[in-house]
A and B are shown apart, each in its own frame.
Chain A
Amino acid sequence: GESVGLHLPTLSVQEGDNSIINCAYSNSASDYFIWYKQESGKGPQFIIDIRSNMDKRQGQRVTVLLNKTVKHLSLQIAATQPGDSAVYFCAEDDQAGTALIFGKGTTLSVSS
């Protein structure tokens, strides 16, 4: 069946370090992937997305990498700040191509 998972449920880093959050997906037919950030008491906030015809996309301090060969997705955050502390979710579109399936999330903790 379809599933989107993460390698680690928690990640702790020091302020200023680079963070890498990983995600594995199972549906080789998925053609769209997205990362969300969720802070306590708030809804998921869109960070960055990528389509399957790309293997890398950069935003402000964030980079998403897609490896379709091993069905792996990662989010890189440069110069991590305390405000980056949150739960990060990856998601993929489902086989119908009209809805997203979310992973369980990775909690990023940034210490000063």
Chain B
Amino acid sequence: DAGVIQSPRHEVTEMGQEVTLRCKPISGHNSLFWYRQTMMRGLELLIYFNNNVPIDDSGMPEDRFSAKMPNASFSTLKIQPSEPRDSAVYFCASSFAKDNRPQHFGDGTRLSIL
């Protein structure tokens, strides 16, 4: 079975540019999560969706970050404009359970903002 698929795997861009990260959840899963991982702060939840609807975006650091889930099989996380402190590994996870457990992760997008 295909797991959570993220693209690109690596992204290097200059500050000020728009960055779009993509995620395809596991087919049939109804919850999708975006996380950011850094050495200093570990894994942080940014936002999650249930049935394509954003439920909690309190982890989104700033208005520069936005996430969408136009359908059950696709989600994007966008940073505009990007800044060097946004450099991190961004993970997408999905789950299918009444209480969103357990979550299955993609292999992440390593983002570097120069």
Contacts and interface: CB of A to CB of B under 8 A. Distances in A.
A44 B94 CA distance: 12
Contacts of A111: none
A89 to B, nearest CB: 7
Contacts of B102: 34, 46, 49
A34 B101 contact: yes
Interface string B51-62: 000011000000
9 contacts: A32-B99, A32-B101, A36-B105, A41-B107, A43-B91, A44-B93, A98-B55, A99-B33, A105-B42
Given A32-B99, A42-B108, A89-B43, 17 more contacts: A34-B101, A42-B107, A43-B93, A43-B105, A43-B107, A43-B108, A44-B91, A46-B102, A49-B101, A97-B99, A98-B55, A99-B45, A99-B48, A99-B56, A100-B103, A101-B45, A102-B43
B106 interface: yes
B4 A43 contact: yes
Contacts of B17: none
A58 to B, nearest CB: 16
Contacts of B99: 32, 93, 97-98
Main secondary structure of the interface of B (DSSP, over half): strand
Given A43-B106, A43-B108, A96 B43 contact: no
B68 interface: no
Given A43-B4, A44-B91, A100 B45 contact: yes
Q: For A32, A44, A49, A101, which residue has the most chain B Cβ atoms within 10 angstroms?
A: A44
Interface in A73-102: 89, 93, 96-102
Nearest to B45: A99
B105 A99 contact: no
Contacts of A99: 33, 45, 48, 56, 100
A74 B85 CA distance: 34
